[in-house]
Structure 1
Amino acid sequence: MEYRFSLKEQLFQLEEKLLKPEIRISNDELTNLLADSFFEFGSSGKVLYKNESVGEMNLGIVQMEMSDFEIHPLSEEIVLTTYRIYNAMTEQHSLRSSIWKLIDGRWKMHFHQGTKVTS
C-alpha cells in the first residue's frame, strides 16, 4: 500500500508542476515531462502534439487549482490520473485525465485530456 501512496504523490506533484507558468513556457521542462509521443485533447478543443515542437505548443499562462486527484494503475508502467481543475482566470471547471508511462525510470506524460464541465 505504501508503494501506491508514494506513486500517487509523485504523479500528483508532476501534474501540479505542469500547471506552473514557469514550467509551461520552458522547452526544457516540457521536454523532460512529456513523452516523445505525447498528445493532448485540450479543453479548448485544440489537439496538441509534442512532435510539432514543444516551443510552439503555447500552453499559456494559467491559474489553476487541482482537486479530487486519483490514480488508476493500468500496469506497473502505465497509470491513468484523473482530477478536477478550476481555472481562476477563466472561471471554468474541467475534468482532466492523463496517461503516464514509466520510461527509462522516469514518469512521462503520454496523453492528456481536458473536458469543460459546469461547476
Structure 2
Amino acid sequence: HKDIKVNATCVRVPVLRGHSESVYIETKKPIDIEKAFDLLAHSTGVELVDDIANQIYPMAIDHIGSEKVYVGRVRKDLDNDHALSMWVVADQLMKGAAYNSVDIGLKMIEMGLL
C-alpha cells in the first residue's frame, strides 16, 4: 500500500554474503502481534525464525544460498500500538535487486498482469 510508513535501518556486519536490516513498520490500525506472526509464517518466500527464548533468530551467515527472506525478533513497539519492529535477513545474491525483478515479473505473469 502506498501510504504505509516503513522506517528501515541497515546494519552492516562483516559476513560472506547477506543483508540484514532492522525494519520498523507503522500502520493505520493497531497491530495484533499474533496476526503479524501468522501473516509472516504463511507468506510466500518468507520464513519466520523467531525463538528468542532459545536465542534463535535470523543471521545472514546461516542463510547463504537461500532464496527466502528470513524474519525474526518481531516485536510490538513499546510506545506505539500501530507499530512493530523486526529483523530481516536475506542472501543478497539469491534475493537481491536482480532476483527480485525476476520474481516480481513471474508473479505478474501468474496474476495475468503481463
Q: Does the pair score TM above 0.5?
A: no
Which structure is larger by alpha-carbon Rg, 1 or 2? Answer: 2
Question: Which is bigger in relative contact order (C-alpha 8 A, separation at least 6)?
Answer: 2
Q: Which has the higher strand share?
A: 1
